[in-house]
Structure 1
Amino acid sequence: MTNPPLRRVLTTVQLWGIAVGLVISGEYFGWNYGWQVAGTLGFGVATAIVTVFYVAFVFSYTELTTAIPDAGGPFAYAYRAFGPTGGFLAGYATLVDFLLAPPAIAAALGAYAHFLNPALSPLWVGVISYSVFVGINMLGVRDSANFSLIVTILAVVELLVFMGLVAPAFKFDNVVAHTEQFKWTSVFAALPFAIWLYLAIEGVAMVAEEVKDPRRTIPRAYLLSIGTLVLLAVGTMLLCAGAGDWRRLATIDYPLPETLAMVLGHNSVWTRLFASIGLFGLVASFHCNTLGYSRQIYVLARNGYLPAFLAQVNERFRTPHWALVVGGGIGLVALFSGSTDQIIVLSALGAIVMYGISLVSLLALRRREPTLERPFKTPFYPFLPLLALFLSLICLLAIVYFNPRLSALFLGLGGLSLLVFRLVGRRAVPVKLNMLD
C-alpha cells in the first residue's frame, strides 16, 4: 500500500505563525545565560553578531527553500549538492538542533509552572508537556498550524504588554552596570545563547511540502518572521537589562516574570498573570519544534537514512506518527539527563553546523545548477551567503572552543551514526526530492 503524501494546506499567515512560534520561546528564556558568561555589554555584542548572521542567512536560505520545497530541508539541499554523505551530515545536524530544542523548552515550561505554584515539579510538568504536544501534532498539520498561529499571536502580544509594563522602570545605567570586566573572549563564549534568540527559524523548511504556493508563501513568511523576531529579541533583552540588577536574571529559566517581580513586586497581579500567560510563548515553540523534528525524522526515514517505520504516515490525519513518538522519547531522555544551558549549547551546535552546510550547498548549487528554477534569489549574491558563512564559522569555532566536551559528544555521536549508516543504511532506496512543479 502506498504511503499517503503530506497535504499542501499552509498559508502565509499560518507559516508566519509556525516560523515565529518555532523561535519565540528564545525571548522568554535561555538567552539570559549569556549574561552569566559575558555580562550585558558582552552579550549585546554577541547578539549583534548573531542578528547580522541570521538576517544574511534567512535571505540565503529562502532561495534554497523555495527552489527545493522538500520536508527534508537542509538534508534535501545538501543531498542535491553533495550526494548521500552531504545529506547525512545535514540531516544529523538538523536532528540535533530540533530534537534538543523541545527538552530545553520543556524545562522552562516546568520552571514557569513552578514559579506559579512551587508544589509543581518542573521535571514532571515537562514530561506532561511532551505527551500533550505530541498528541496535538498527531491531529494534522492544518489543525497544528492553526493552534500554532493562535498561541504565537498571544505570545507576541504578551511580549508587547511586558515591554509596556517594564518600560517606565527602564534605566540605561542598569544596562551598563557591573560590566567592568568586558572581554572579547566572553563575547564568543556567549554566542550560543545569542543564537538561541533566533534558533529554529529554519524549521519552516520542514513544512515546505505542506505549503500552498511555496513560490510566494515561503519568502513572505520568512521575511516577515525574521523582522518580527529581531524587534522582539532586542526589545525584550534591553528592557530586562534596564529594569534593575540584571544579575538576578542570569541563571534562571524564567527571566521575564522575575523582571516584572523586580519592577512591580512578586505579589503583583501583573507578575502572576504574566507568569501564567507567559506559557504561551513556550507552548508555541514547543509545539512548532515538535512539528519540525517529526518532519525531519520522517524524511530521513523515507529516504533510507533511518528505519522505515519512522516514515509511516497516519491514513486519517496525514501526520508521521512514529516520527513524533520516537522523537519525543529522545527528547524525554535529554530532559532527564541534562541541564538547560547544556541542552541549549548542543542544540545551537547542531544548528550552526547545519547552517554552514546549507550555505555551502547554496553556493555549490548556484555553480553546478545555474538553470535550477529559483522563485526567490538571494539579494547581493554572493556577498550575503559568504557573510553568513563567515559568521557561522566564527560561531562554530567559538562553541567548540568553549564547550569541548559537548562538542566531542556531538562529533562522536555523528561519527558513530555515519558508521552505522555506511554499514547498514538502506542505500538501495532512491532519494526523491520534492521539487517545484
Structure 2
Amino acid sequence: MQESKNKVLTRALGLPECVTITAGAVIGVGLFTTGSSQVGIMGSSIIIATIIAFLLVLWPAAIYGELSAALPLAGGTYAYAKRAINYPVAVFCSWNYTVAQIGIGGAEALAFANYWAILLSALGIPWNVDPRITASTLFIIFVAVNYFGIEFAGKWQNCSMYFFWGASIVWFISVFNKMDFTRFTSPIAGIPSSVTSFATVVLMVWWCFAGFETVVGMGAEVKFPKITLPRALCISPFIVFGVNTLFQWFLVGLTPADSLSGLATATAPFAFCMNTAGIIGIPVVILCLGITFGGDFSTMNPCVTGPARYMYVMANDGNMPKAFGRLHPKYNTPHISILTVGILGVLLISTGSIAILAAMCAFCQMTCYIIGYISYLMLQKKEPDLERPFKVPFGTFGAWFSIATYAVLAILALDMHALPFNLGFDAICILYYFIFVRKRPIPQEAIDVELLTLQSTSPTAEEKLSLDKQFNRWKFAAIAAFIVSLLLFVISYFL
C-alpha cells in the first residue's frame, strides 16, 4: 500500500488554477485562427453561431462537473468510461482525447509562430524562421514547464491567463475609436443557406469552446475537488463566451466591409483585419503580445498537462508501457508521459497545417464527449448510490440531448481531408488494444491508487467560507463578461 501511496498525485490546484486551465485550454488557437475566420463567412451574424456553440457546451460542462465531483481522478473521461461502460471503450476514448489535446497544442504552437512573426515585423525585426521550428521550440518549452511540477505549471497558467486578459483590455481601448457600427447588419443576414455549411461554421466556432473539460483530467491534483471542480466547470463557459464574443465584436467592427470575406482564408485573421483597416504600430504590438504570450501560452500548458495525465493513468492500468506511469522522485510529475507528449506534439506540428489539425481534433473531441455523456447515463444506473456532491438539473435529458446534437454536428461537419487521419488513428488504437491489452487485467496496485486518490479531504468551516467568497468573485466576473459582450452585439445592431 505504501508503494501505491507514492503513486498518488499531489493536490495543488485551486479554483483560480482550475478556471484558468479550463479557460486557457479553450481560448487560443480556435479564437485566433479557425474560429475568428468564420466571421469572414457570417459577418455580424457570427453571434448566432457563438450562442449555439455556447449552448452546446453549457450542459456538457455541468455534466462533467457532476462526474468530476463524484470521481475526482486523473484521466477524466477515461476514468469515467472505464467505470461506467467498459475497459475497451475507455482505452479508445483515452487515445482519442490524447491525440486531440496534443493536436490542439500543436495547432496552438503554429498559431503562435504566425503571430510571433507578425509581432516581430511590427517591431521592425526580420524573422524568416520556418513556423514549424518556432512552434516546436514553444512546445518543448511547455514540456519543460510541466516537467517541474503541477504547482509550477498552475502558477504559470495563472500568469499567462491574467496577462492575456490585461493585454486584451488594453487592446480593446486602443482600437475602440476605429469601430464602424454600420458593419453590424441583421443578426440572421449572414447565416449560410446550406445546412452543411452552417454546421461547419458552428463546429469551428464550437472549437473555440472545446476543451471545457480539460481540468477533469487533472482531477487527482485539485484541492477540495468535490467543490472546486463543478464550480470551475460551470462558470468557465461564461468566461469563454465573453472573451470570444468581445473579440468577434471587434473583428466585425474593425474589418473593412470589402475585406470581410478575406478573413475566411486568413492564417492570422486579426492581423489581416488590422492590416486592411490600416491599424499599425502599438495596437498591433499589444494584440500580438496578448495572443502569443497570453492566449497561446495559456492554451499550450493544459495541452501538455492533460494528455500526460491520461497516459499516466493508462500506464498504471497496464494498457500503456509502465514507464509512462512513473512519477518524478522530486517533482511528482509523470515525467516520461510529459516527454512523450512533447515528441508527439513536434510530430504533429511537422504537418504545418492548422486547418487539418483543427478538423482532426474536433472529431476526436466529439467522440470523447459522446463517450463521456454515455458514461454519465450508465453510471447513474450502475452506481445510483455513488456520492454526487453536485447534481446537474435535468442531467439525464441534457446527456441525451448532447449525445444527439454532437453526433449530428460531427456528421454534418465531417472534414474529408482530416477523416483519413482520424480513421487511421482509430484503426491503430483498436489493433493495439486487441494485440497488446485485451488479455491484461488491471493491476491491483492501480485499483489501490484510485481508491487512495478518491480519499480527498473536506475543507474546514473557515476554508469553506474562503472558497465561497472566492467563487462568488469569479462567478460575478463570469456573468459580467457574458452580459457585457452579448449586449455589445445587440446594441451595435441598432446603431
Q: How high is the TM-score relative to the length of structure 1?
A: 0.92
What residue is the counterpart of 1:377 in the other structure? 391
Counterpart for residue 58 of structure 2? 55
- Give 2:345's match in structure 1, choosing from 305, 328, 331: 331
- Show the 5 A alignment for 1:164-203: 164-176=173-185, 179=190, 182-203=193-214
- 8 Å CA contact 2:92–2:429 kept in 1: the answer is no
- Is the aligned partner of 1:276 residue 2:280? no
Matched, 1:23 2:26: yes
- Write out per-residue CA displacement over residues 339-382 of structure 1, whole angstroms, 9 at most, x where no aligned residue: 10110111111111111110111111112211011111111232
Distance in 2 between residues matched to 1:362 and 1:90, nearest whole Å: 14
Q: Which amino acid aligns with 1:119?
A: W
Instruction: Indicate the residue corresponding to 1:106 in structure 2.
Output: 109
Match of 2:425 in 1: 413
For residues 228-307 of structure 1, what are the structure 2 equivalents within 5 Å?
228-245=239-256, 246-263=260-277, 265-266=279-280, 268-279=281-292, 280-307=294-321
- 1:154 counterpart = 2:173: no
- CA contact 1:98–1:347 (8 Å) conserved in 2: yes
CA-to-partner distance for each residue in 1:275-305, whole Å, 9 max, x for gaps? Answer: 1343111111111211112111111122122
Using the TM superposition, give the Cα deviation of residue 43 of structure 1 relative to its aligned residue in structure 2, in angstroms: 4.7
CA shift in 2, pair 1:202/1:120, >3 Å: farther
Distance 2:434 2:289 in 1: 48
Aligned to 2:484: none
| Letter of the 2:422 counterpart | F
Contact between 1:8 and 1:211, CA under 8 Å: does it hold in 2? Answer: yes
1:46/1:188 contact within 8 Å kept: no
Q: Which moved more, 1:378-387 or 1:93-102?
A: 378-387
Structure 2 counterpart SS, 1:29: helix
Structure 1 residues 388 and 166: CA distance shift in structure 2, 3 A: farther
Note the C-alpha offset of 1:175: 4.4
**Matched residue type, 1:14:** E
Structure 2 counterpart of 1:317, from 331, 346, 351: 331
How many pairs does the alignment contain? Answer: 433
Shift in Å, 1:12: 0.9
Deviation at 1:63, TM superposition (A): 0.7
Q: Distance in 2 between matches of 1:297 and 1:408?
A: 24
2:155 equivalent to 1:142: no
Q: Please state how far the C-alpha of 1:219 moved relative to its aligned partner.
A: 1.5
Alignment of 1:65 onto 2:77: no
Pair 260,378 (structure 1): closer, same or farther in 2 beyond 3 Å: same
Contact between 1:69 and 1:436, CA under 8 Å: does it hold in 2? no
The structure number with the bigger radius of gyration is: 2
Question: Secondary structure, in 3 states, of the residue corresponding to 2:31?
Answer: helix
Q: Could you tell me which amino acid in structure 2 is paired with residue 193 of structure 1?
A: M
Is the 1:27–1:232 contact (alpha carbons within 8 Å) kept by the matching residues of 2?
A: no
Deviation of 1:161 after TM superposition, in Å, equals: 2.9
Letter matched to residue 427 of structure 2: G
User: What value does the CA root-mean-square deviation take over the aligned residues?
Assistant: 2.2
8 Å contact from structure 2 (residues 117, 127) kept in 1:
yes
The reply on whether 1:79 has 2:90 as its aligned counterpart is no
Show the counterpart of 1:225: 236
SS at structure 1 position matched to 2:299: helix
AA aligned opposite 2:168: L
- Whether the 8 Å contact between 1:174 and 1:241 is mirrored in structure 2 is yes
Deviation at 1:103, TM superposition (A): 0.6
Q: Report the Cα distance in structure 2 between the residues aligned to 1:167 and 1:389, rounded to whole angstroms.
A: 41
What residue identity is the alignment partner of 2:157? S
Which of 126, 132, 138 is residue 123 of structure 1 equivalent to? Answer: 132
Task: Quote the Cα distance in structure 1 between the aligned partners of 2:301 and 2:192.
Answer: 39
Distance in 2, Cα, partners of 1:187 & 1:173: 24
Cα shift at 1:383: 2.7
Matched, 1:428 2:441: yes
Alpha-carbon distance in structure 2 between the residues aligned to 1:88 and 1:360: 15
Q: How many angstroms apart in 2 are the aligned matches of 1:436 and 1:415?
A: 37
* 1:64 counterpart letter in structure 2: L
TM-score by length of structure 2 reads 0.82
Q: 2 CA distance for matches of 1:162 and 1:373?
A: 46
Residue 128 of structure 1 and its aligned partner are, at CA, apart by 1.0
Residue in 2 that maps onto 1:207: 218
Query: Where does the alignment leave 5 or more consecutive residues of structure 2 unmatched?
Result: 121-125, 457-495
- Structure 1: 4+ residue segments shifted above 6 A: none
Change over 3 Å in CA distance of 1:71–1:427 after alignment to 2:
same
Q: Counterpart amino acid of 2:308?
A: S
